[in-house]
Structure 1
Amino acid sequence: MDMASLLELCENIRHRILEVVSKNGGHLSSTLGAVELIVGMHRVFDCRENPFIYDVSHQAYAHKLITNRWKEFETLRQFGGMSGFIKPSESDFDYFIAGHSSTSISLGVGVAKAFALQKKNAIPVALIGDGSMSAGLVYEALNELGDRKYPMIIILNDNEMSIAKPIGAISKYLSHLIAGPMYQSVKDRIKKLLEKMPDSATYIAKRFEESFKLITPGILFEEMGINYIGPINGHHLDEVIHALNLAKDMRCPVIIHAQTTKGKGYEIAEGRYEKWHGVGPFDLDTGSSKKATNAQSPTDIYSQTLLELANEDEKIVGATAAMPGGTGLGALIDKYPNRFWDVAIAEQHAVTSMAALAKEGFKPFVSIYSTFLQRAYDQIVHDVGIMSLPVRFAIDRAGIVGEDGETHQGLLDISFLRPIPNMVLFAPRDNASLKSAILFASNHSSSPCAFRYPRGKFIINDGIFENKDFIIGKSELLLEGGKILLIGYGNGVGRAYEVYLSLKTSGIEAGLLDLRFLKPLDKDLKKILNSYSYAFVFSDSYKIGGVGSALLEYIADNDIQIKLHSFEVKDSYISHGNTGMVEKSIGLDSSSAVDYIIKNT
């Protein structure tokens, strides 16, 4: 394509993204801001030979549209449709799955190593946002890349904060000069000169090269051994293409610093607005949401309740990892900036730093999505668990999260937290009991503890059952009767209650138990279980190592004669789509559970 055709393509891509995301929901501001960068990547490189590695990959809608998915794009994030992230099983043009941040450079280094061993004349191209640069994995990868000097291109999409402040036209000119043949030639000559010169003369030569770097904003990367181009305007397509061609010819590690605007092309969303990062269906003309938002979410309840407790107790502190809005911690950071912190994309640091605060007598709350807590597992075990420090883990987005799919499902936290000695695990069933759970966590000071709650809303509404305080290791028998016991944990209590109502309509009596605590289990559980012939478990978690597994261990240890079946997620990754449709597809919806219970009791 000529330049005019490429610019027209960029406009068409933006129009298509807005058209579909306004109907389906999805990631918006980041993907609108990356259009010219991705078009430029495809103009300069064939991604079948030179893999494109997208960090997080929610900014890669333009890539999907360019690579034969224009029509299919209308199924974005729908059940059975196109993923909102890069997915190799969806297209041969997608190189590596990505839903968590800060992995692209490490992956790129691995690809570069493979190409070196295979003697392939190809270059991995990574696109990473400035926010992702806050994670330690990035610098581990850059450290090795700068030492090994593998050919690799890293495009830094700077759309929110500057890594280093631009120094105007002179800096821009010199940055291009550094990437060009003259500077590279001078640099090579300096190196050869240094090898031949006596030690007494090398000082002047070194100062000459260093002074050239110091007047550019790329000194951080240059000092790590990564060549730097930029800053460039990431929306000037000819500038993007020029920089990519320069980097391609250099045959070494290069970082291109591109400055872009989030939401580019849709004025309502342009700028640093967190609410436009991920959106539900909205009206294109006004930007207003098409979904009713009157009901309070568990995240809202968590935010309000923790703020109320923090107002009364100055020992309460907390941290989140780049998700202050998503976890509800934003309001606490605003009011108490010296007690609550957004540590950026650094879940490991969030956990370990809060462990130190716990040791100093504070009451730290770590607020992280279930899927992202996986990133800090060693810190939970080593820095919190061994010393039994009272760090409170508030696990948001637990369970099936819907349209984000495999990389974001919150299904593993129970399985990986349960084996940790000293860890207390509990879960509320509704908004009212969530408030009680937060209060319990704030007062629990003898060990670490973790409580989980779902995205959006609980299945069961407040007021159906009386709310009671959490007492460690105590379950709550909500309903009695029949030979069938329905056991719910957390949001699973709502699902168990739906099943109870359906069974009752069919003339089948059942009991309903809110387990409340998974660790420790209720000491009186044996007495409850011995009153029933069948038990059925409901929890938004994996079956392996999950709630049913814990109960089976308890049943075996206590020689209880009861048949137990768990309606937890089987051993597979769960795809994206409407939560109800996803649950039905894997047999976890209420009607499927009722059918199974009737046939097997």
Structure 2
Amino acid sequence: MLDFRFHMNSSILQHINSPEELRKLSLEQLPKLAQELREFIIAIVATKEGHLGASLGVVELTIALHYVFNTPIDNLIWDVGHQAYGHKILTGRKEIFETNRQLNGISGFPKRSESKYDTFGTGHSSTSISAILGMALAAKLDGASEKNHIAVIGDASIASGMAFEALNHAGATDANILIILNDNAIGIDPSVGALKKYLTNVKKGTAKDENIFECLNFDYTGPIDGHDIELVISTLEKLKTKKGPKLLHLITTKGKGLKQAEENQVIYHAPGKFNKETGDLLPKSKEFQPAKYQDVFGHTIVELARHNKKIIGITPAMPTGSSLKFMMQEFPERAFDVGIAEQHAVTLAAGMTTEGYMPFCTIYSTFLQRAYDQVIHDVAIQNLPVIFCLDRAGLVGQDGATHHGLYDIAYLRCIPNLILAVPMNELELRNMMYTAQLGLNHPIVIRYPRGRGVLKEWKVPFEKIEIGKAKKLKNGTKIVVLSIGHIGNMVTDVLHDIEPNEKIGHYNMRFIKPLDSTALKHIFDSYDHIITIEDGCKIGGFGSAIVEFANELSYHKPITVLGIDDKIIEHGTTKELHQITKIDALSFKLKINTILNATK
């Protein structure tokens, strides 16, 4: 044992830089370590921001897992990685934890390239059981069946289809895996669905005779108090010696140890900056700020739904993040949170469309990736006019590589029957939504970014937008910029400051599919150099579409494509990432001036 006889007056955490050091502590010292670990997380997140509540809820479990198991020899996966802050601190990253989610700092999620203790990257949910089963089966093939394989998954994440697919497979094997169900009745928003009700009944002792996990051939233990560290450790010690698939059901409180985080679990999932002593959120600036695009969506769908009783709202577990919460409050019978189930959300919307309803399926760009087959098979092939409102498109900032919405233009543009619309500001988002619910013959995706728009007034009367029609913003004679989406506002500002200004034209294309072929023919006939700019990947993106158009019509004008290069973009503020990827105002201005000088 480490000699911490003085521990009542000094920090234990300051001496812990690895699980090996953690395992030298006595059981009596662990509650104090848990308190210090909570305080450490709170202090850093209060000033640096990040995901708070999830990690506070698993402090005892984190300590217990590394105390009982021989990590990293024993594999440990956190699903989803919001809850892994304590894990990172105890596995050698305490001194650099203040760089969490900062540019060139450590990731906010587990990341294999960052630490040998991060056995699998988990930015999206519900992947852990499949991954840990793969590791366990591989270990068996290697003759290392004594190794332990542990996955920690939340009750919201285990309700996802992929998790059930993995449970179904795992229960039919003799793989040495332990699934720890961290049951706190909330993901980002409160958990939903029949499984949540079942788990609630288990906790109350009113569940039906059969246990769903035992029926799937798991050795079930629980539910137990996930904050009783001695009980958690003794339970893990027993399970450690058992072979085959096991499931431990833990009851925890998200935000444990910070009163406000326990009482306001949605807000304190990722609260921004707050007072570490009181827990109070820091006051926001009173200066005018434009509306967030998500709120423009949320308020607009409510306004439309008041007049169109066929409008339905659907989101996979993001009612607050997408602002569908506004419709859920006013029209609860017509707004559905389906849980972490993107595939189901898309096909549910398709089914409702066949019965004459107009579902707005609001989903983050990075999460629509999880339902790609459904977009093709269930929506596009049948040409069902589902309205997809694609939030968090483009670079999203500090959530990093797993959450950037960089690929949606490329992966959607190739799908037949799909309309792809990109508003430049709040008013265009509003009018695109209005136009979509007037009745279309095709499915439509309306793509918009995370963050705020640019307008002071956007709640004005609706106007129909002609599908596939670009908008000329500025005349020019030599160079023309074709922008798509919010980034066009930056283009407008830069062009206003460039001399000679009259040489440069600017079009807000608004639609990537269908392209405005009439406008493009005029553009290629009138300008010497075309520049495209987008906040998505260049391969297969908007610029690629313009190059393809030029090739098909045998235009030979030079085309400069600005966007995200073929590489993974890590975390940082959106401003920093725009600079790194050279789609910020300064980089754009330098590119324009370079081309201008070359044409003189």
| Corresponding letter in the other structure for 1:442 | Q
Distance 2:279 2:257 in 1: 15
Say whether 1:26 aligns with 2:42: no
Give the direction of change, closer, same or farther, for the CA distance of 1:264–1:407 in structure 2 (3 Å limit): same
Residue among 506, 512, 530 paired with 1:535? 530
Quote how far apart the aligned CAs of 1:492 are.
2.2
**Contact 1:228–1:256 at 8 Å: present in 2 too?**
yes
Quote how far apart the aligned CAs of 1:333 are.
1.6
Quote how far apart the aligned CAs of 1:308 are.
0.4
The secondary structure found in structure 1 opposite 2:102 is coil
Distance 1:441 1:8 in 2: 57
Name the residue aligned to 1:522. 516
Q: 1:229-287 CA deviation, whole Å, 9 max, x = no partner? A: 10110000011111111111111111110000010000111046211112211223252
TM-score (norm 1): 0.89
Quote how far apart the aligned CAs of 1:498 are.
3.0
Name the residue aligned to 1:341. 336
Distance 2:431 2:231 in 1: 56
Say whether 1:510 aligns with 2:520: no
Distance 2:340 2:208 in 1: 28
Distance 2:177 2:447 in 1: 41
Give the direction of change, closer, same or farther, for the CA distance of 1:440–1:167 in structure 2 (3 Å limit): closer
Distance 2:81 2:49 in 1: 16
Distance 1:389 1:399 in 2: 26
**Contact 1:502–1:594 at 8 Å: present in 2 too?**
no
**Contact 2:128–2:151 at 8 Å: present in 1 too?**
yes
Quote how far apart the aligned CAs of 1:530 are.
1.7
Q: 1:133-177 CA deviation, whole Å, 9 max, x = no partner? A: 1101111111111111211011100011564346679x79xxxxx
Name the residue aligned to 1:164. 199
Give the direction of change, closer, same or farther, for the CA distance of 1:290–1:75 in structure 2 (3 Å limit): farther
Give the direction of change, closer, same or farther, for the CA distance of 1:342–1:165 in structure 2 (3 Å limit): closer
| Corresponding letter in the other structure for 1:26 | G
Distance 1:531 1:168 in 2: 70
Residue among 136, 143, 151 paired with 1:126? 151
Say whether 1:261 aligns with 2:253: yes
Say whether 1:556 aligns with 2:551: yes
| Corresponding letter in the other structure for 1:40 | A
Distance 1:479 1:580 in 2: 26
**Contact 1:402–1:578 at 8 Å: present in 2 too?**
yes
Distance 2:202 2:323 in 1: 37
Name the residue aligned to 2:377. 382
Say whether 1:241 aligns with 2:233: yes
Name the residue aligned to 1:490. 485
| Corresponding letter in the other structure for 1:118 | D
**Contact 1:425–1:451 at 8 Å: present in 2 too?**
yes
Residue among 568, 577, 582 paired with 2:577? 582
Distance 2:71 2:399 in 1: 25
**Contact 2:478–2:528 at 8 Å: present in 1 too?**
yes
Q: 1:425-460 CA deviation, whole Å, 9 max, x = no partner? A: 111111111111111121242010001111111367
Q: 1:151-230 alignment to 2 at 5 Å?
A: 151-160=176-185, 161=196, 163-165=198-200, 219-230=211-222
Distance 1:80 1:459 in 2: 29
Name the residue aligned to 1:175. none
Distance 2:97 2:403 in 1: 20
Give the direction of change, closer, same or farther, for the CA distance of 1:469–1:378 in structure 2 (3 Å limit): same
Distance 2:581 2:106 in 1: 19
Q: 1:52-101 CA deviation, whole Å, 9 max, x = no partner? A: 11112110000000011111001111111111100111112111111100
**Contact 1:459–1:495 at 8 Å: present in 2 too?**
no
Distance 1:282 1:511 in 2: 45
Q: 1:548-585 CA deviation, whole Å, 9 max, x = no partner? A: 00000011111223211111101111111111111112
Distance 2:511 2:456 in 1: 20
Give the direction of change, closer, same or farther, for the CA distance of 1:565–1:28 in structure 2 (3 Å limit): same
Residue among 157, 163, 168 paired with 1:138? 163
| Corresponding letter in the other structure for 1:534 | H
Say whether 1:69 aligns with 2:93: yes
Say whether 1:450 aligns with 2:445: yes
**Contact 1:480–1:510 at 8 Å: present in 2 too?**
yes
Q: 1:392-403 alignment to 2 at 5 Å?
A: 392-403=387-398
**Contact 1:430–1:461 at 8 Å: present in 2 too?**
no
Instruction: Identify the range of structure 1 (531-540 vs 104-113) with the bigger mean alpha-carbon deviation.
Output: 531-540
Gaps of 5+ in 2: 1-24, 186-195
**Contact 2:64–2:233 at 8 Å: present in 1 too?**
yes
Say whether 1:596 aligns with 2:591: yes
Quote how far apart the aligned CAs of 1:507 are.
5.5
Identity %: 39
| Corresponding letter in the other structure for 2:75 | P
Q: 1:305-384 alignment to 2 at 5 Å?
A: 305-384=300-379
Distance 2:51 2:521 in 1: 48
Distance 1:593 1:331 in 2: 37
Quote how far apart the aligned CAs of 1:290 are.
4.6
**Contact 1:433–1:467 at 8 Å: present in 2 too?**
no
Distance 2:412 2:128 in 1: 28
Instruction: Identify the range of structure 1 (107-116 vs 264-273) with the bigger mean alpha-carbon deviation.
Output: 264-273
Residue among 269, 274, 285 paired with 1:292? 285
The secondary structure found in structure 2 opposite 1:229 is strand
Q: Could you say what the CA RMSD is over the residues aligned between the two structures, in angstroms?
A: 2.0
Q: 1:47-86 alignment to 2 at 5 Å?
A: 47-86=71-110
Name the residue aligned to 1:414. 409
Distance 1:415 1:311 in 2: 35
Quote how far apart the aligned CAs of 1:509 are.
3.2
Say whether 1:37 aligns with 2:61: yes
The secondary structure found in structure 1 opposite 2:535 is strand
Distance 1:401 1:150 in 2: 38
Residue among 210, 219, 242 paired with 1:250? 242
Distance 2:378 2:314 in 1: 16
| Corresponding letter in the other structure for 1:127 | V
**Contact 2:75–2:149 at 8 Å: present in 1 too?**
yes
Distance 2:377 2:37 in 1: 47
TM-score (norm 2): 0.89
Give the direction of change, closer, same or farther, for the CA distance of 1:155–1:21 in structure 2 (3 Å limit): same
Instruction: Identify the range of structure 1 (478-487 vs 160-169) with the bigger mean alpha-carbon deviation.
Output: 160-169
Name the residue aligned to 2:6. none
Q: How many residues align?
A: 555
The secondary structure found in structure 2 opposite 1:319 is strand
Quote how far apart the aligned CAs of 1:289 are.
3.6
Name the residue aligned to 1:188. none
| Corresponding letter in the other structure for 1:92 | K
The secondary structure found in structure 2 opposite 1:568 is strand
Say whether 1:3 aligns with 2:30: no
Give the direction of change, closer, same or farther, for the CA distance of 1:469–1:50 in structure 2 (3 Å limit): same
Distance 2:523 2:464 in 1: 20
Name the residue aligned to 2:7. none
Instruction: Identify the range of structure 1 (439-448 vs 365-374) with the bigger mean alpha-carbon deviation.
Output: 439-448
Q: 1:105-124 alignment to 2 at 5 Å?
A: 105-120=129-144, 121-124=146-149
Give the direction of change, closer, same or farther, for the CA distance of 1:462–1:528 in structure 2 (3 Å limit): farther
Distance 1:168 1:482 in 2: 71
Name the residue aligned to 1:209. none
| Corresponding letter in the other structure for 1:90 | E
